Amino acid sequence: MPPELYFALTLLVKMAITAGLVLAATVTAERAGPLVGGLVATLPLGAGPVYVFLALDHGASFIAASAVNSLAINTVNVIFALTYALLAQKRPLPVSLSLALLLWFALAWTVHEIHWTMLPVILLNIVVLGVSIALVAPLRHVPIPRVKARWYDLAMRAGLVALLVGLTVTLSFSIGPSGSGILAVFPVILLSIMLILHRRVGGKPTAAVMAHAVTGLVGFAFACIVLHFTAEPLGWVAGEALALATSIAWGLLVYAARRRGIAV
């Protein structure tokens, strides 16, 4: 089989697998309320498969390096969710989402221009997450009505995720670990939830999901740190498995604490 055809076929498979995983997760999230929705939305269901495919193409050292930039972009994703949540209290979807996306791209470009090392990026996450969690805390307590997924909503989500995977895997050969680490964690799940829920249930309930997502992104930060330090010594398979387990464990911890009335 010609190399170009093999690459195209494997890329289509990668896009389909990832889109299916994210689609199942977001439908579940929408039916479970803001807390579960926010926590599930921040699991590495989009970034995880992308990282698997990047590891297959480039190896463990590439993954370890990419995780540093993914950790830096995690702060940008936090600010993206925070900005939307604050704007959506009074602003319509086009305004809230457009301004949040413009800020994301501006900050992502800044992150890409900086050579990050682990200690500064950990400290940056501590500051951004600490401030953001405090700011969104009053926005969490809004119930979200049950919504029935429509076929075009599902198609849009699947298309967004598939496009992200295709771009990241294809461009990774030219943009290196820094650019790949940024593209891999583009907030496609958060974006799709904003697009779908805001139009159907309003800004404040959707903002409540994003408010919980800010707390969920703490778990993603831990996952990036684990991946960076384990991908090379343990192998990328073990490193990515441990990173996923870390993110899931954080979500379960937050869910259990909130169910018991403990502020997290």
For 238-257, the pLDDT digits (tens) are 999 999 999 999 999 998 88
- How high is the pLDDT of residue 30? 66
- pLDDT value of position 260: 81
**Average pLDDT for 167-179:** 67
What is the structure's pLDDT at 163?
Answer: 76
The average pLDDT across 93-98 equals 93
What is the pTM assigned to this prediction?
Answer: 0.83
- For the chain, the domains span 3-259
Q: Single out the residue of 179, 177, 161 nearest to residue 108, CA to CA.
A: 179
Q: Read off the DSSP letter of residue 224.
A: H
Average pLDDT over residues 175-192: 73
Lowest average pLDDT, out of 57-71, 75-89, 135-149, 249-263, goes to 135-149
Instruction: Say whether pLDDT at 123 is over 70.
Output: yes
Q: Which residue has the higher pLDDT, 12 or 89?
A: 89
Residue whose C-alpha is closest to residue 193's, from 90, 93, 106: 93
Among 197, 177, 212, residue whose Cα is nearest residue 34? 212
- pLDDT higher than threshold 90 for residue 189: no
